[in-house]
Amino acid sequence: MANTKVPEAAHPFYFKYDTIKGYFMQSEDDTDSSKFDFRKQNFGLIDREYGTEEAGVDEAKLHWQSFEKYVESLNEKSEEGVQYKVLFLGRHGQGWHNVAETKYGTAAWDCYWSLLDGADGITWSDALLTDLGQDQARDVNELWKSLLPKGIPAPETYYVSPLTRTIETADLSFKGLELPEDRPYAPIGKELLREALGVHTCDRRSTASHIRSAFPHVALEPGFSEEDPLWEADYREPRSARKYRLAQFLDDIFEHDDGAFLSLTSHSGAIASVLEAIGHRTFALQTGGVIPVFVKAERVNGKREAPPKEPSEAPPACSSPPPAWSSSS
């Protein structure tokens, strides 16, 4: 198996995922991810007709409400084992580990600095958000605040990676919003929603006791262990294993969550793996970025095929700091 510390799903089925194009600009091949700003583009919702429009609906609410009804109608008419969900994939705001990688350069970061808990007055083990990262999350909060009166459906469930920076991001993104009573912000910490596992201390989570103390409003999923069971100091999870893990996470929520609109606050690598697992085009997110995806899932009998265990994705560790090398070079 790709990572022996990630348990295989017990049930004898999985889901085949497809991205439904034509609804969000980010899913279209001609959208330039380096220039696209979801905050200025209504989260990327394409202005189109759905066949579910109702007369007399406020024009400002028409598009989101019609889209929500369209998704509901697809689920009502779908065959057994087929379902549709809209996932709001949010990347955490800038963390101190992002600052450190920029400071030291990617090559030096990967082979030396990322193995430490911090240096030069910066701590990045289970990194916290910077002031900029907090502002990026608040920008998302302002976007939701502006769109909720215009009919955007609030998430029915809020899933978060249990890393500090992702919980902080979700809190700043959703706390204080006027959400429907049946859709309160009640985040659920999911172990499999984490960034690539191993080597980098910024991706090693804190203990369950610390998370519960610092974030008592976060419900950690059943079986959440006190110590981090997945992080290894000398093995960095390869991309194939990360995709398999995130596909398992999707299988879990598609099997157990009846909601059609879900929020997932995670990390750049994890989100890239989710996009790969659902057949979505590559779409780079800046820190604090959010991408909605419209997904069709079809239940398939049998077990999801696990990739073979591959060598660690991290380069060999350096015994001393190498010369700085910029990731933009």
pLDDT tens digit sequence for 79-101: 999 999 999 999 999 999 999 99
What is the rounded average pLDDT for all residues in the chain?
A: 94
Buried/exposed code over 115-149 (b: 16+ C-beta within 10 A; e: otherwise): beebeeebbbbbbbbbeebbebbbbbbebbeebbe
Domains in the chain, number: 1
Strands 219-220 and 188-189, sheet pairing: parallel
Q: How confident is the model at residue 54 (pLDDT cuts 50, 70, 90)?
A: confident
Domain assignment of residue 37, yes or no: yes
Would the pLDDT of 4 be above 90? no
Model confidence over 242-287: pLDDT tens digits?
999 999 999 999 999 999 999 999 999 999 999 999 999 999 999 9
Q: Flag whether 164 is in a domain.
A: yes
Would residue 236 count as lying in a domain?
A: yes
Residue 72 lies in a domain: yes
Q: Give the per-residue pLDDT at 5.
A: 73
Q: Provide the pLDDT for residue 10.
A: 67
The CATH number covering residue 38 comes to: 3.40.50.1240
Per-residue pLDDT reduced to its tens digit, 118-135: 999 999 999 999 999 999
Q: Does the global pTM surpass 0.85? A: yes
Q: Is residue 34 part of a domain?
A: yes
- Residue 253 is assigned to a structural domain of this protein: yes
Assigned token pair, 175: 């706390």
Report residue 328's pLDDT band, with 50, 70 and 90 as the boundaries: very low
Catalytic residues: 92, 195
Specify if 166 maps to a domain.
Answer: yes
Average of pLDDT values for 205-218?
A: 98
* Neighbour tally for 181: CB within 10 Å: 5
Does 187 fall in a domain? yes
Token pair, residue 5, equals: 């510390």
The pLDDT tens digits for 278-317 are 999 999 999 999 999 999 999 999 999 999 999 999 999 9
The boundaries of the domain holding residue 177 are: 24-47+59-93+130-301
